Amino acid sequence: MLRLSVGALRTRWQLFAGAVVAVALGVGLVQSGLQMLAATDRPVLPAGLSAYQRAQVREGYVGAATLLGMSVMLAVFLGVFIVSTTFGFMTVQRRREFGLLRLVGAPRGYLCLMVVTEAGLLGLVGSVVGLPLGVLATWAQSWLLMRLGMLPSWFEAPWDQGAVWAAMIIGVGTALAGVLAAAWRASRINALDAVVEGAAARRVMTGWRWFWGLSAAFGTVVLVIAAQAARDLVAGLMIGLVVMISGSVALSQLSPVVVPLVGRVPAVVVRGNLIADLARAGVLHAVRRSAATAAPLIVLVGLVVGLWGTFGSLAKAVGVEQERLITANVVVDHPVAPGPGIVAASTQTAVPIVVMRGKNTVYSEAIGIDAAAYQQTHRLRPRKGSLDRLTGRTIAIGPGMAVEGYKLGSILKVALGNRSVTVKVVAIMPETLDVSENFFIPRSLLPAGGRTETLVKLAAGATMGGRTVKEWAEARGEAQQRSNSGLFAALMGLAGIFTAVAVVNAVVMSTADRRREFALGRMAGLTRGQVVAIAVVESATVVVVGVVLGALVAAGALAGIAAGPYGLAALAIPWRLLGLIFAAALVVVGTAAALTACRAMSRRLGTY
Protein backbone atom coordinates (compact mmCIF):
# COMPACT_ATOMS: atom_id res chain seq x y z
CA MET A 1 0.00 0.00 0.00
CA LEU A 2 2.75 2.44 0.93
CA ARG A 3 4.48 1.79 -2.40
CA LEU A 4 1.23 2.50 -4.28
CA SER A 5 0.69 5.73 -2.33
CA VAL A 6 4.26 6.92 -2.93
CA GLY A 7 3.96 5.99 -6.60
CA ALA A 8 0.71 7.95 -6.93
CA LEU A 9 2.36 11.05 -5.44
CA ARG A 10 5.44 10.67 -7.64
CA THR A 11 3.58 10.14 -10.93
CA ARG A 12 0.92 12.80 -10.25
CA TRP A 13 3.08 15.36 -8.43
CA GLN A 14 1.83 18.20 -10.64
CA LEU A 15 -1.73 17.53 -9.55
CA PHE A 16 -0.79 17.34 -5.88
CA ALA A 17 1.43 20.44 -6.03
CA GLY A 18 -1.36 22.87 -5.14
CA ALA A 19 -2.30 20.90 -2.02
CA VAL A 20 1.37 20.68 -0.98
CA VAL A 21 1.75 24.45 -1.38
CA ALA A 22 -1.43 25.05 0.65
CA VAL A 23 -0.25 22.80 3.47
CA ALA A 24 3.23 24.38 3.41
CA LEU A 25 1.77 27.88 3.62
CA GLY A 26 -0.52 26.78 6.42
CA VAL A 27 2.35 25.19 8.37
CA GLY A 28 4.51 28.29 7.92
CA LEU A 29 1.74 30.61 9.12
CA VAL A 30 0.80 28.36 12.03
CA GLN A 31 4.44 28.07 13.12
CA SER A 32 5.04 31.83 12.96
CA GLY A 33 1.65 32.55 14.53
CA LEU A 34 2.28 30.24 17.49
CA GLN A 35 5.78 31.67 18.03
CA MET A 36 4.43 35.22 18.04
CA LEU A 37 1.45 34.29 20.24
CA ALA A 38 3.88 32.85 22.78
CA ALA A 39 5.95 36.06 22.65
CA THR A 40 2.90 38.33 23.09
CA ASP A 41 1.62 36.17 25.95
CA ARG A 42 4.87 36.74 27.88
CA PRO A 43 5.85 40.28 26.84
CA VAL A 44 9.19 41.70 27.89
CA LEU A 45 8.75 45.46 28.42
CA PRO A 46 11.71 47.86 28.67
CA ALA A 47 12.28 49.81 31.86
CA GLY A 48 11.19 53.43 32.07
CA LEU A 49 7.66 53.05 30.63
CA SER A 50 4.81 54.65 32.51
CA ALA A 51 1.81 52.58 33.60
CA TYR A 52 -0.27 54.07 30.78
CA GLN A 53 2.40 53.28 28.20
CA ARG A 54 2.66 49.70 29.49
CA ALA A 55 -1.11 49.40 29.21
CA GLN A 56 -1.02 50.68 25.62
CA VAL A 57 1.68 48.14 24.71
CA ARG A 58 -0.32 45.32 26.29
CA GLU A 59 -3.43 46.47 24.46
CA GLY A 60 -1.49 46.33 21.20
CA TYR A 61 -0.33 42.82 22.10
CA VAL A 62 -3.96 41.79 22.61
CA GLY A 63 -4.86 43.13 19.16
CA ALA A 64 -1.87 41.37 17.62
CA ALA A 65 -2.80 38.11 19.33
CA THR A 66 -6.35 38.42 17.96
CA LEU A 67 -5.08 38.92 14.41
CA LEU A 68 -2.60 36.06 14.73
CA GLY A 69 -5.26 33.72 16.09
CA MET A 70 -7.61 34.62 13.22
CA SER A 71 -4.84 34.09 10.64
CA VAL A 72 -3.99 30.66 12.09
CA MET A 73 -7.63 29.55 12.00
CA LEU A 74 -8.07 30.94 8.48
CA ALA A 75 -4.94 29.17 7.25
CA VAL A 76 -6.11 25.83 8.67
CA PHE A 77 -9.62 26.24 7.25
CA LEU A 78 -8.39 27.15 3.76
CA GLY A 79 -5.77 24.39 3.86
CA VAL A 80 -8.48 21.80 4.59
CA PHE A 81 -10.63 23.31 1.83
CA ILE A 82 -7.86 23.04 -0.80
CA VAL A 83 -6.81 19.52 0.22
CA SER A 84 -10.45 18.42 0.14
CA THR A 85 -10.93 19.94 -3.33
CA THR A 86 -7.72 18.33 -4.63
CA PHE A 87 -8.52 14.81 -3.46
CA GLY A 88 -12.18 15.14 -4.41
CA PHE A 89 -11.19 16.00 -7.97
CA MET A 90 -8.49 13.32 -7.94
CA THR A 91 -10.91 10.62 -6.86
CA VAL A 92 -13.04 11.28 -9.93
CA GLN A 93 -10.01 11.16 -12.24
CA ARG A 94 -8.80 7.88 -10.71
CA ARG A 95 -12.08 5.95 -10.77
CA ARG A 96 -10.72 3.53 -13.37
CA GLU A 97 -7.56 2.96 -11.31
CA PHE A 98 -9.56 2.30 -8.16
CA GLY A 99 -11.93 0.09 -10.14
CA LEU A 100 -8.98 -2.03 -11.33
CA LEU A 101 -7.79 -2.43 -7.74
CA ARG A 102 -11.27 -3.56 -6.76
CA LEU A 103 -11.27 -5.93 -9.75
CA VAL A 104 -8.10 -7.70 -8.56
CA GLY A 105 -9.52 -8.15 -5.07
CA ALA A 106 -8.66 -5.00 -3.09
CA PRO A 107 -11.27 -4.49 -0.31
CA ARG A 108 -13.02 -1.15 0.18
CA GLY A 109 -11.03 -0.42 3.32
CA TYR A 110 -7.78 -0.85 1.38
CA LEU A 111 -8.76 1.93 -1.07
CA CYS A 112 -9.81 4.20 1.78
CA LEU A 113 -6.57 3.61 3.67
CA MET A 114 -4.49 4.11 0.51
CA VAL A 115 -6.01 7.54 -0.13
CA VAL A 116 -5.56 8.51 3.54
CA THR A 117 -1.91 7.38 3.34
CA GLU A 118 -1.40 9.58 0.26
CA ALA A 119 -2.85 12.53 2.19
CA GLY A 120 -0.62 11.79 5.18
CA LEU A 121 2.48 11.72 2.95
CA LEU A 122 1.32 14.94 1.27
CA GLY A 123 0.86 16.57 4.68
CA LEU A 124 4.31 15.43 5.78
CA VAL A 125 5.96 16.82 2.64
CA GLY A 126 4.03 20.07 3.00
CA SER A 127 5.03 20.35 6.66
CA VAL A 128 8.73 19.90 5.89
CA VAL A 129 8.54 22.49 3.10
CA GLY A 130 6.60 24.84 5.37
CA LEU A 131 9.13 24.98 8.20
CA PRO A 132 11.56 27.33 6.38
CA LEU A 133 8.53 29.42 5.35
CA GLY A 134 7.69 29.77 9.04
CA VAL A 135 10.94 31.65 9.67
CA LEU A 136 10.17 34.04 6.82
CA ALA A 137 6.53 34.36 7.93
CA THR A 138 7.63 35.28 11.47
CA TRP A 139 9.73 38.15 10.16
CA ALA A 140 6.99 39.26 7.72
CA GLN A 141 4.19 39.18 10.33
CA SER A 142 6.34 40.99 12.91
CA TRP A 143 7.11 43.72 10.37
CA LEU A 144 3.44 44.00 9.37
CA LEU A 145 2.16 44.23 12.95
CA MET A 146 4.78 46.87 13.75
CA ARG A 147 3.63 48.88 10.73
CA LEU A 148 0.03 48.56 11.93
CA GLY A 149 1.05 49.89 15.35
CA MET A 150 0.06 46.73 17.22
CA LEU A 151 3.58 45.76 18.22
CA PRO A 152 6.44 47.98 19.43
CA SER A 153 9.69 48.29 17.52
CA TRP A 154 11.59 46.22 20.09
CA PHE A 155 9.32 43.16 19.73
CA GLU A 156 11.03 39.83 19.08
CA ALA A 157 9.57 36.33 18.64
CA PRO A 158 12.27 33.82 19.71
CA TRP A 159 12.49 30.34 18.22
CA ASP A 160 10.03 27.97 19.87
CA GLN A 161 10.54 24.24 19.29
CA GLY A 162 7.05 23.49 20.57
CA ALA A 163 5.53 25.75 17.89
CA VAL A 164 7.47 23.84 15.21
CA TRP A 165 6.16 20.44 16.32
CA ALA A 166 2.64 21.82 16.75
CA ALA A 167 2.74 23.29 13.23
CA MET A 168 3.87 19.98 11.73
CA ILE A 169 1.13 18.08 13.55
CA ILE A 170 -1.44 20.62 12.36
CA GLY A 171 -0.09 20.34 8.79
CA VAL A 172 -0.49 16.57 8.70
CA GLY A 173 -3.83 16.84 10.49
CA THR A 174 -5.03 19.38 7.94
CA ALA A 175 -4.24 17.00 5.08
CA LEU A 176 -5.95 14.08 6.84
CA ALA A 177 -9.03 16.14 7.68
CA GLY A 178 -9.34 17.31 4.08
CA VAL A 179 -9.15 13.82 2.60
CA LEU A 180 -11.82 12.05 4.67
CA ALA A 181 -14.72 12.67 2.27
CA ALA A 182 -12.62 11.74 -0.78
CA ALA A 183 -11.37 8.55 0.93
CA TRP A 184 -14.93 7.49 1.69
CA ARG A 185 -15.98 8.15 -1.94
CA ALA A 186 -12.97 6.16 -3.20
CA SER A 187 -14.03 3.20 -1.05
CA ARG A 188 -17.49 3.21 -2.69
CA ILE A 189 -16.09 2.67 -6.22
CA ASN A 190 -17.01 -0.71 -7.73
CA ALA A 191 -14.99 -3.06 -9.93
CA LEU A 192 -17.32 -2.26 -12.85
CA ASP A 193 -15.83 1.25 -12.99
CA ALA A 194 -12.63 -0.28 -14.38
CA VAL A 195 -14.54 -1.29 -17.52
CA VAL A 196 -17.26 1.31 -18.08
CA GLU A 197 -18.06 4.77 -16.74
CA GLY A 198 -21.23 4.43 -14.71
CA ALA A 199 -23.84 6.99 -13.73
CA ALA A 200 -22.10 7.55 -10.39
CA ALA A 201 -18.97 8.79 -12.17
CA ARG A 202 -20.95 11.31 -14.18
CA ARG A 203 -23.02 12.53 -11.23
CA VAL A 204 -21.55 15.65 -9.64
CA MET A 205 -24.33 16.49 -7.19
CA THR A 206 -24.46 13.76 -4.56
CA GLY A 207 -27.26 13.41 -2.04
CA TRP A 208 -25.22 14.89 0.77
CA ARG A 209 -24.12 17.80 -1.41
CA TRP A 210 -27.77 18.57 -2.20
CA PHE A 211 -28.64 18.32 1.49
CA TRP A 212 -25.91 20.67 2.75
CA GLY A 213 -26.32 23.09 -0.15
CA LEU A 214 -30.10 23.42 0.14
CA SER A 215 -29.97 23.55 3.95
CA ALA A 216 -27.40 26.35 3.89
CA ALA A 217 -29.36 28.19 1.18
CA PHE A 218 -32.60 27.95 3.17
CA GLY A 219 -30.86 29.15 6.34
CA THR A 220 -29.31 32.07 4.44
CA VAL A 221 -32.66 33.21 3.06
CA VAL A 222 -34.25 33.00 6.53
CA LEU A 223 -31.39 35.01 8.06
CA VAL A 224 -31.58 37.74 5.40
CA ILE A 225 -35.34 38.07 5.99
CA ALA A 226 -34.77 38.21 9.76
CA ALA A 227 -32.12 40.93 9.35
CA GLN A 228 -34.51 42.97 7.23
CA ALA A 229 -37.31 42.57 9.77
CA ALA A 230 -35.15 43.41 12.80
CA ARG A 231 -34.37 46.95 11.54
CA ASP A 232 -31.54 47.13 14.06
CA LEU A 233 -27.97 47.93 13.06
CA VAL A 234 -26.20 45.68 15.58
CA ALA A 235 -28.57 42.77 14.85
CA GLY A 236 -28.02 43.33 11.12
CA LEU A 237 -24.25 43.25 11.63
CA MET A 238 -24.33 40.03 13.67
CA ILE A 239 -26.72 38.28 11.28
CA GLY A 240 -24.64 39.48 8.33
CA LEU A 241 -21.56 37.70 9.67
CA VAL A 242 -23.48 34.41 9.73
CA VAL A 243 -24.95 35.06 6.27
CA MET A 244 -21.45 35.36 4.79
CA ILE A 245 -20.57 31.85 5.98
CA SER A 246 -23.90 30.15 5.25
CA GLY A 247 -24.24 31.84 1.85
CA SER A 248 -20.71 30.91 0.81
CA VAL A 249 -21.27 27.31 1.89
CA ALA A 250 -24.61 27.18 0.04
CA LEU A 251 -23.32 28.47 -3.29
CA SER A 252 -20.10 26.44 -3.03
CA GLN A 253 -22.06 23.23 -2.47
CA LEU A 254 -24.56 24.09 -5.21
CA SER A 255 -21.92 25.46 -7.60
CA PRO A 256 -22.25 22.51 -10.06
CA VAL A 257 -25.86 23.63 -10.57
CA VAL A 258 -25.57 27.40 -10.12
CA VAL A 259 -22.35 28.08 -12.07
CA PRO A 260 -23.57 26.64 -15.41
CA LEU A 261 -26.93 28.38 -14.92
CA VAL A 262 -25.37 31.80 -14.34
CA GLY A 263 -22.65 31.02 -16.90
CA ARG A 264 -25.22 31.26 -19.69
CA VAL A 265 -25.60 35.00 -19.11
CA PRO A 266 -22.11 36.22 -20.25
CA ALA A 267 -22.30 33.91 -23.27
CA VAL A 268 -25.42 35.70 -24.53
CA VAL A 269 -23.40 38.88 -25.02
CA VAL A 270 -20.81 37.28 -27.32
CA ARG A 271 -22.96 34.60 -28.96
CA GLY A 272 -22.01 33.74 -32.54
CA ASN A 273 -18.25 33.79 -32.11
CA LEU A 274 -16.56 30.38 -32.50
CA ILE A 275 -14.22 30.78 -29.54
CA ALA A 276 -16.96 32.17 -27.32
CA ASP A 277 -19.39 29.38 -28.25
CA LEU A 278 -16.81 26.65 -27.55
CA ALA A 279 -15.88 28.30 -24.25
CA ARG A 280 -19.57 28.51 -23.29
CA ALA A 281 -19.97 24.82 -24.09
CA GLY A 282 -16.99 24.06 -21.86
CA VAL A 283 -18.51 25.99 -18.95
CA LEU A 284 -21.93 24.37 -19.35
CA HIS A 285 -20.85 20.78 -19.92
CA ALA A 286 -17.63 20.51 -17.87
CA VAL A 287 -19.62 21.19 -14.72
CA ARG A 288 -17.12 19.69 -12.29
CA ARG A 289 -14.25 21.76 -13.69
CA SER A 290 -16.24 25.02 -13.68
CA ALA A 291 -17.54 24.46 -10.15
CA ALA A 292 -14.08 23.60 -8.78
CA THR A 293 -12.68 26.88 -10.15
CA ALA A 294 -15.62 29.07 -9.11
CA ALA A 295 -16.06 27.74 -5.55
CA PRO A 296 -12.90 29.35 -4.04
CA LEU A 297 -13.82 32.67 -5.67
CA ILE A 298 -17.33 32.51 -4.24
CA VAL A 299 -15.92 31.96 -0.75
CA LEU A 300 -13.26 34.68 -1.14
CA VAL A 301 -15.60 37.38 -2.46
CA GLY A 302 -18.43 36.47 -0.09
CA LEU A 303 -16.24 36.57 3.03
CA VAL A 304 -13.76 39.34 2.21
CA VAL A 305 -16.13 41.79 0.51
CA GLY A 306 -18.84 41.01 3.07
CA LEU A 307 -16.51 41.56 6.03
CA TRP A 308 -14.99 44.72 4.58
CA GLY A 309 -18.45 46.09 3.79
CA THR A 310 -19.80 45.14 7.21
CA PHE A 311 -17.10 46.83 9.23
CA GLY A 312 -16.92 49.73 6.79
CA SER A 313 -20.65 50.22 7.31
CA LEU A 314 -20.14 50.07 11.07
CA ALA A 315 -17.50 52.81 10.85
CA LYS A 316 -19.77 54.86 8.60
CA ALA A 317 -22.65 54.38 11.03
CA VAL A 318 -20.44 55.78 13.81
CA GLY A 319 -20.16 59.02 11.86
CA VAL A 320 -23.90 59.14 11.09
CA GLU A 321 -24.76 58.48 14.74
CA GLN A 322 -22.36 61.13 16.04
CA GLU A 323 -23.72 63.67 13.58
CA ARG A 324 -27.25 63.03 14.88
CA LEU A 325 -26.17 63.20 18.55
CA ILE A 326 -24.42 66.57 18.23
CA THR A 327 -26.32 69.87 18.19
CA ALA A 328 -23.21 72.01 17.67
CA ASN A 329 -22.27 73.46 14.27
CA VAL A 330 -18.47 73.70 14.28
CA VAL A 331 -15.57 71.79 15.88
CA VAL A 332 -12.20 73.49 16.51
CA ASP A 333 -9.00 72.20 18.12
CA HIS A 334 -8.63 74.92 20.76
CA PRO A 335 -10.69 76.41 23.61
CA VAL A 336 -13.31 79.01 22.60
CA ALA A 337 -14.36 81.82 24.90
CA PRO A 338 -17.98 83.01 25.02
CA GLY A 339 -18.73 85.79 22.57
CA PRO A 340 -21.17 87.23 20.06
CA GLY A 341 -22.83 84.61 17.86
CA ILE A 342 -21.80 81.74 20.16
CA VAL A 343 -24.72 80.03 21.89
CA ALA A 344 -22.60 77.38 23.63
CA ALA A 345 -19.04 76.09 23.51
CA SER A 346 -18.19 72.67 24.98
CA THR A 347 -14.45 72.32 25.47
CA GLN A 348 -13.41 68.67 25.80
CA THR A 349 -9.89 67.62 26.85
CA ALA A 350 -8.77 63.98 26.69
CA VAL A 351 -6.11 62.85 29.20
CA PRO A 352 -4.75 59.46 30.33
CA ILE A 353 -6.51 57.94 33.35
CA VAL A 354 -6.00 54.86 35.50
CA VAL A 355 -9.19 53.57 37.13
CA MET A 356 -8.92 51.07 40.01
CA ARG A 357 -12.03 49.09 40.90
CA GLY A 358 -11.34 46.35 43.39
CA LYS A 359 -8.71 44.05 41.88
CA ASN A 360 -9.27 45.39 38.35
CA THR A 361 -7.22 48.24 36.90
CA VAL A 362 -8.24 49.99 33.67
CA TYR A 363 -5.80 52.13 31.68
CA SER A 364 -7.76 54.44 29.43
CA GLU A 365 -8.58 58.06 28.60
CA ALA A 366 -10.90 60.45 30.42
CA ILE A 367 -12.54 63.48 28.85
CA GLY A 368 -12.75 66.62 30.92
CA ILE A 369 -16.00 68.48 30.24
CA ASP A 370 -18.19 71.25 31.59
CA ALA A 371 -21.48 69.43 32.19
CA ALA A 372 -23.73 72.37 31.29
CA ALA A 373 -21.92 73.18 28.03
CA TYR A 374 -21.76 69.48 27.12
CA GLN A 375 -25.53 69.09 27.48
CA GLN A 376 -26.10 72.19 25.35
CA THR A 377 -24.12 70.72 22.44
CA HIS A 378 -25.02 67.00 22.79
CA ARG A 379 -28.33 65.14 22.67
CA LEU A 380 -26.97 62.10 24.51
CA ARG A 381 -28.21 61.88 28.11
CA PRO A 382 -27.28 59.44 30.92
CA ARG A 383 -29.35 56.28 31.31
CA LYS A 384 -28.63 56.46 35.04
CA GLY A 385 -27.83 59.48 37.18
CA SER A 386 -27.30 63.03 35.93
CA LEU A 387 -24.45 65.01 34.40
CA ASP A 388 -25.55 68.02 36.48
CA ARG A 389 -23.85 66.29 39.43
CA LEU A 390 -20.52 66.03 37.59
CA THR A 391 -18.68 68.49 39.84
CA GLY A 392 -15.84 68.16 42.33
CA ARG A 393 -14.49 64.63 42.84
CA THR A 394 -16.94 62.78 40.61
CA ILE A 395 -16.85 60.75 37.41
CA ALA A 396 -19.33 59.73 34.71
CA ILE A 397 -19.06 56.38 32.90
CA GLY A 398 -18.93 57.00 29.14
CA PRO A 399 -20.53 54.98 26.32
CA GLY A 400 -17.38 52.90 25.83
CA MET A 401 -17.64 51.49 29.38
CA ALA A 402 -21.44 51.50 29.69
CA VAL A 403 -21.70 47.67 29.74
CA GLU A 404 -18.70 47.00 32.03
CA GLY A 405 -20.80 46.73 35.21
CA TYR A 406 -20.07 50.07 36.91
CA LYS A 407 -22.61 50.94 39.62
CA LEU A 408 -24.18 54.34 40.11
CA GLY A 409 -22.93 55.81 43.38
CA SER A 410 -19.91 53.50 43.64
CA ILE A 411 -16.52 54.85 44.70
CA LEU A 412 -13.51 54.51 42.39
CA LYS A 413 -9.85 55.33 42.87
CA VAL A 414 -8.34 57.04 39.83
CA ALA A 415 -4.92 58.37 38.88
CA LEU A 416 -4.73 61.54 36.77
CA GLY A 417 -1.23 62.72 35.99
CA ASN A 418 0.77 62.56 39.21
CA ARG A 419 -2.31 62.80 41.40
CA SER A 420 -4.43 59.98 42.83
CA VAL A 421 -7.99 60.83 43.88
CA THR A 422 -11.14 59.05 44.99
CA VAL A 423 -14.22 59.82 42.89
CA LYS A 424 -17.92 58.93 42.98
CA VAL A 425 -19.85 57.64 39.94
CA VAL A 426 -22.68 60.14 39.37
CA ALA A 427 -23.82 59.18 35.85
CA ILE A 428 -23.70 56.23 33.45
CA MET A 429 -24.12 57.07 29.76
CA PRO A 430 -25.93 54.77 27.32
CA GLU A 431 -23.97 52.57 24.94
CA THR A 432 -23.29 53.97 21.46
CA LEU A 433 -21.52 52.69 18.34
CA ASP A 434 -18.57 54.98 19.09
CA VAL A 435 -16.69 53.38 21.99
CA SER A 436 -13.84 55.91 22.16
CA GLU A 437 -15.34 57.89 25.08
CA ASN A 438 -14.87 55.83 28.25
CA PHE A 439 -14.93 58.27 31.18
CA PHE A 440 -16.02 61.87 31.77
CA ILE A 441 -14.58 63.99 34.58
CA PRO A 442 -15.06 67.64 35.65
CA ARG A 443 -12.55 70.01 34.12
CA SER A 444 -11.37 70.90 37.64
CA LEU A 445 -9.76 67.43 37.89
CA LEU A 446 -7.81 67.74 34.63
CA PRO A 447 -4.00 67.50 34.90
CA ALA A 448 -1.73 69.54 32.67
CA GLY A 449 -1.60 68.66 28.96
CA GLY A 450 -4.06 66.57 27.02
CA ARG A 451 -5.77 66.80 23.64
CA THR A 452 -8.39 69.52 23.37
CA GLU A 453 -11.27 70.16 20.97
CA THR A 454 -14.27 72.43 21.29
CA LEU A 455 -17.76 71.87 19.91
CA VAL A 456 -19.35 75.26 19.20
CA LYS A 457 -23.05 75.92 18.77
CA LEU A 458 -23.57 79.10 16.75
CA ALA A 459 -26.46 81.52 16.60
CA ALA A 460 -28.43 81.79 13.38
CA GLY A 461 -26.35 83.50 10.70
CA ALA A 462 -23.07 83.33 12.66
CA THR A 463 -19.98 81.71 11.15
CA MET A 464 -16.67 80.37 12.50
CA GLY A 465 -13.64 78.67 11.01
CA GLY A 466 -13.11 75.00 11.71
CA ARG A 467 -14.60 71.68 10.72
CA THR A 468 -18.32 71.23 10.39
CA VAL A 469 -19.91 68.62 12.64
CA LYS A 470 -20.54 66.45 9.59
CA GLU A 471 -16.82 66.53 8.68
CA TRP A 472 -15.85 65.89 12.30
CA ALA A 473 -18.27 62.95 12.61
CA GLU A 474 -17.09 61.43 9.33
CA ALA A 475 -13.48 61.74 10.52
CA ARG A 476 -14.34 59.78 13.68
CA GLY A 477 -15.88 57.03 11.59
CA GLU A 478 -12.88 57.00 9.23
CA ALA A 479 -10.52 56.76 12.22
CA GLN A 480 -12.35 53.66 13.39
CA GLN A 481 -12.23 52.26 9.86
CA ARG A 482 -8.46 52.84 9.70
CA SER A 483 -8.00 50.87 12.90
CA ASN A 484 -9.82 47.94 11.27
CA SER A 485 -8.43 48.29 7.74
CA GLY A 486 -4.92 47.10 8.61
CA LEU A 487 -6.27 43.97 10.27
CA PHE A 488 -8.57 43.13 7.37
CA ALA A 489 -5.93 43.95 4.78
CA ALA A 490 -3.69 41.32 6.39
CA LEU A 491 -6.48 38.73 6.47
CA MET A 492 -7.57 39.61 2.94
CA GLY A 493 -4.03 39.13 1.66
CA LEU A 494 -3.82 35.75 3.38
CA ALA A 495 -7.20 34.66 1.98
CA GLY A 496 -6.18 35.92 -1.47
CA ILE A 497 -2.99 33.84 -1.48
CA PHE A 498 -4.84 30.65 -0.55
CA THR A 499 -7.59 31.38 -3.08
CA ALA A 500 -5.00 31.88 -5.83
CA VAL A 501 -3.48 28.50 -4.90
CA ALA A 502 -6.95 26.90 -4.94
CA VAL A 503 -8.04 28.23 -8.35
CA VAL A 504 -4.67 27.55 -10.00
CA ASN A 505 -4.76 24.06 -8.50
CA ALA A 506 -8.25 23.51 -9.97
CA VAL A 507 -7.14 24.74 -13.41
CA VAL A 508 -4.02 22.54 -13.40
CA MET A 509 -5.93 19.44 -12.31
CA SER A 510 -8.68 19.95 -14.87
CA THR A 511 -6.16 20.41 -17.70
CA ALA A 512 -4.85 16.90 -17.08
CA ASP A 513 -8.17 15.62 -18.48
CA ARG A 514 -8.17 17.99 -21.46
CA ARG A 515 -5.17 16.84 -23.46
CA ARG A 516 -7.36 14.70 -25.70
CA GLU A 517 -9.95 17.49 -25.97
CA PHE A 518 -7.30 19.99 -27.06
CA ALA A 519 -5.82 17.48 -29.53
CA LEU A 520 -9.24 16.89 -31.10
CA GLY A 521 -9.67 20.64 -31.44
CA ARG A 522 -6.33 20.91 -33.20
CA MET A 523 -7.23 18.06 -35.58
CA ALA A 524 -10.56 19.77 -36.29
CA GLY A 525 -8.64 22.79 -37.61
CA LEU A 526 -8.17 25.02 -34.58
CA THR A 527 -4.80 26.71 -34.17
CA ARG A 528 -2.82 26.64 -30.93
CA GLY A 529 -3.78 30.26 -30.32
CA GLN A 530 -7.47 29.49 -30.72
CA VAL A 531 -7.30 26.56 -28.31
CA VAL A 532 -5.51 28.72 -25.74
CA ALA A 533 -8.06 31.50 -26.30
CA ILE A 534 -10.91 29.05 -25.67
CA ALA A 535 -9.33 27.99 -22.37
CA VAL A 536 -8.78 31.64 -21.33
CA VAL A 537 -12.31 32.76 -22.26
CA GLU A 538 -13.79 29.77 -20.45
CA SER A 539 -11.76 30.60 -17.34
CA ALA A 540 -12.73 34.27 -17.56
CA THR A 541 -16.40 33.29 -17.75
CA VAL A 542 -16.04 31.15 -14.62
CA VAL A 543 -14.29 34.05 -12.85
CA VAL A 544 -17.15 36.41 -13.73
CA VAL A 545 -19.68 33.89 -12.45
CA GLY A 546 -17.71 33.21 -9.25
CA VAL A 547 -17.30 36.92 -8.46
CA VAL A 548 -20.98 37.65 -9.20
CA LEU A 549 -22.15 34.82 -6.94
CA GLY A 550 -19.72 35.88 -4.19
CA ALA A 551 -20.98 39.46 -4.50
CA LEU A 552 -24.52 38.10 -4.11
CA VAL A 553 -23.50 36.54 -0.79
CA ALA A 554 -21.91 39.84 0.33
CA ALA A 555 -25.07 41.74 -0.69
CA GLY A 556 -27.17 39.40 1.45
CA ALA A 557 -24.86 40.05 4.39
CA LEU A 558 -25.20 43.83 3.97
CA ALA A 559 -28.98 43.79 3.47
CA GLY A 560 -29.67 43.98 7.20
CA ILE A 561 -27.52 47.10 7.54
CA ALA A 562 -29.43 48.89 4.79
CA ALA A 563 -32.68 48.08 6.62
CA GLY A 564 -31.35 49.44 9.94
CA PRO A 565 -32.14 52.77 11.59
CA TYR A 566 -29.55 54.69 9.53
CA GLY A 567 -30.63 53.19 6.19
CA LEU A 568 -28.43 53.59 3.13
CA ALA A 569 -26.52 56.44 4.82
CA ALA A 570 -24.61 53.84 6.87
CA LEU A 571 -24.07 51.39 4.01
CA ALA A 572 -20.48 51.11 2.77
CA ILE A 573 -20.06 49.05 -0.40
CA PRO A 574 -16.38 48.27 -1.13
CA TRP A 575 -16.55 48.72 -4.90
CA ARG A 576 -12.81 49.27 -5.20
CA LEU A 577 -12.02 46.07 -3.31
CA LEU A 578 -14.50 44.11 -5.43
CA GLY A 579 -12.91 45.47 -8.61
CA LEU A 580 -9.42 44.64 -7.34
CA ILE A 581 -10.41 41.03 -6.56
CA PHE A 582 -12.11 40.69 -9.95
CA ALA A 583 -9.09 42.03 -11.85
CA ALA A 584 -6.62 39.92 -9.87
CA ALA A 585 -8.75 36.79 -10.38
CA LEU A 586 -8.92 37.39 -14.12
CA VAL A 587 -5.14 37.76 -14.32
CA VAL A 588 -4.32 34.75 -12.11
CA VAL A 589 -6.90 32.36 -13.55
CA GLY A 590 -6.38 33.52 -17.14
CA THR A 591 -2.61 33.14 -16.88
CA ALA A 592 -2.92 29.69 -15.32
CA ALA A 593 -5.37 28.59 -18.00
CA ALA A 594 -3.14 29.86 -20.83
CA LEU A 595 0.05 28.26 -19.45
CA THR A 596 -1.56 24.91 -18.70
CA ALA A 597 -3.24 24.85 -22.13
CA CYS A 598 0.09 25.54 -23.83
CA ARG A 599 1.76 22.81 -21.83
CA ALA A 600 -1.05 20.36 -22.62
CA MET A 601 -0.38 20.94 -26.33
CA SER A 602 3.40 20.63 -26.05
CA ARG A 603 3.30 17.11 -27.48
CA ARG A 604 2.89 16.49 -31.18
CA LEU A 605 -0.49 15.50 -32.61
CA GLY A 606 -0.95 11.76 -32.77
CA THR A 607 0.91 11.07 -29.49
CA TYR A 608 -2.04 11.74 -27.17
Give me the amino acid identity at 559. Answer: A
Of 212, 203, 213, 6, nearest to 95 by C-alpha is: 203
pLDDT at 553: 92
pLDDT confidence of residue 194:
57
- Report pLDDT for 183: 84
Report the Cα–Cα distance between both ends of the chain, in Å, rounded: 30
| Intervals of the chain under pLDDT 70 | 1-2, 4, 8-9, 11-15, 43, 50-52, 55, 192-204, 263-272, 480-488, 512-513, 602-608
Q: What is the pLDDT at residue 285?
A: 76
Which pLDDT value is given to residue 2? Answer: 66
What per-residue confidence (pLDDT) applies to 422?
Answer: 93
pLDDT of res. 51: 64
For residue 471, give Cα distances in angstroms to 123, 218, 323, 474, 572. 53, 42, 9, 5, 17
Residue 317 contacts residue 452 (beta carbons within 8 Å): no
pTM here is 0.78
| HEC per residue, 548-603 | HHHHHHHHHHHHHHHCCCCHHHHCCCCHHHHHHHHHHHHHHHHHHHHHHHHHHCCC
pLDDT score recorded for residue 239: 86
| pLDDT computed for residue 38 by the predictor | 83
Residues in contact with 76: Cβ distance below 8 Å, sequence separation at least 6, in sequence order:
26, 30, 170, 174
pLDDT at 291: 81
Q: How crowded is residue 529: how many other Cβ atoms within 10 Å of its Cβ?
A: 10
Question: What does DSSP assign to residue 397?
Answer: E
